[in-house]
Structure 1
Amino acid sequence: MRFRTDDMDTYLQSKDYVDTMMIPLVQVTWQQDAKRIVQAAEFLALLAGEVERQFHGRMMYCPGFTYASMEEMSDHVERLNKWREEMNEAGFKHILLLTTDTTWKEVESSLSGMKLLFVAPLPLESLAVQDQQEMLSQQVRTLLPTLMEVWQ
């Protein structure tokens, strides 16, 4: 389910069964590597949408957690841990953080109660829609063992 009005109605009726929140970690910058960062953000949105589609009814897809590349990582971690507290209070048992940014791996141990899922970004903009869909499905298949581990 997504953070949309129609999905929220469904979530509120069946929230006992929706135990997982997925949050894309979206970096924002206006520096010279901005295009690479934007491509990664687009890829994350598409991948998160595909994961949500395949696990609809079990997972809520949160709007992205955006952060500026020039900010301190400790500030991101602190803010994200506050998000976790609210989501835990709402009943989400599993919080998945989806990222293409390797710097999150350095602070992974500080992300208490959340599972970091790192994926290498794929440049999808030059591919046909059908090829994009196939690549995204392949990425979801690579995440599947980790998801199953989290849910056991």
Structure 2
Amino acid sequence: MKWTSEDTSMYLQSKEYVDTAIIPLVQIGFGNNVKSLAEEGEYTALITEDLERQLKGRVFLFPACTYISGQMTDGEKTIQQWYHEVKDNFKHIFFITSDDLWRNVEELHKDMVIYLPAIPLEHMDESLKRKMIEDQVSQILNIFLQSWKAS
């Protein structure tokens, strides 16, 4: 389910089955690295959309939580706010990002932040791109399954 009026209606009817929130973390900025930031955001979006497609009815994909490049402290505060907003409605909360700065944030619900190194997809053959995304999604599915089994 996604953050749309149709899907939120479905969520309200079946929320006892939807126990996992997926929140993409996307860094934005217009410095020298604007293209790499866009690639990270695109990659994160492709992965999270595929996860939602495969797990529809079990997960809720929120819109990306964006934060300004170089303002990590504000980003940390923002995801703390996200966490507190959704924790009463979702048993499992996962933040998914391609920004490697999140790998170093130890105290910030480290088990909930999934870091994916972005792969430049711009010039990649469509079938290879699909395969790369499927492989990454498969790894994340294993993380989700472990979390679901542990609870």
The corresponding residue for 1:119 is: 116
Deviation at 1:111, TM superposition (A): 3.0
- SS of residue in 2 equivalent to 1:22: strand
| Deviation by residue 1:3-38 (Cα, 9 ceiling, x = unmatched) | 112111111110111011001100001000110110
1:140 aligns with 2:137: yes
The 2-side partners of 1:20 and 1:82 are apart by 17
| 1:51 maps to amino acid | L
Q: TM-score, normalised by structure 2?
A: 0.91
Give the percent of matched residue pairs that are identical in Structure 1 and Structure 2.
34
Q: TM-score, normalised by structure 1?
A: 0.91
The 2-side partners of 1:25 and 1:148 are apart by 21
Gaps of 5+ in 2: none
| Deviation by residue 1:93-114 (Cα, 9 ceiling, x = unmatched) | 11101011111111132237x6
The 2-side partners of 1:51 and 1:144 are apart by 8
Match 1:93 to one of 86, 91, 94: 91
Deviation at 1:129, TM superposition (A): 3.4
Deviation at 1:57, TM superposition (A): 0.6
Q: How many residues align?
A: 149
Contact persistence 2:67–2:74 (CA under 8 A): no
Aligned residue runs from structure 1 range 46-61, under 5 A: 46-61=46-61
1:75 aligns with 2:74: yes
Give the alignment's Cα RMSD to 1 decimal.
1.5
